[in-house]
Structure 1
Amino acid sequence: EQKEPESDYRQAQRILKSSSAYDMANILRDVIQHGTGRAALKIGRGDIGGKTGTTNDAKDA
């Protein structure tokens, strides 16, 4: 009879509320659905999100 290997599962510390993660995912998804990332719709996936511009010291990077 074989023994099951011991699990090394560790619970990660929650650093973000699930409601905040949900809101962020929807914001990123909107960039694809309604914003500058619309070209990504061509790949036919509904589980992608996008981020718009990046700045550095309040100036465009």
Structure 2
Amino acid sequence: MRVPNNGRQVSFTISVSPDVVKELDSVASLCGLPRSTLIRHIINGWLSTLPQRAGS
């Protein structure tokens, strides 16, 4: 999965159990969003809580 990070592309892999995937699917369907969009929103929200390093 690629996430924009201040103009740089950051690539990483997240391994989740099938149960977590089912939960994400049910939340995504409640929100009317595709699972990938929901995950992107979650990750962007998580990234925004991280302290910004100086110079980045």
Normalising by the residue count of structure 1, what TM-score does the alignment of the two structures yield? Answer: 0.31
Higher strand share: 2
Greater gyration radius: 1
Higher helix share: 2
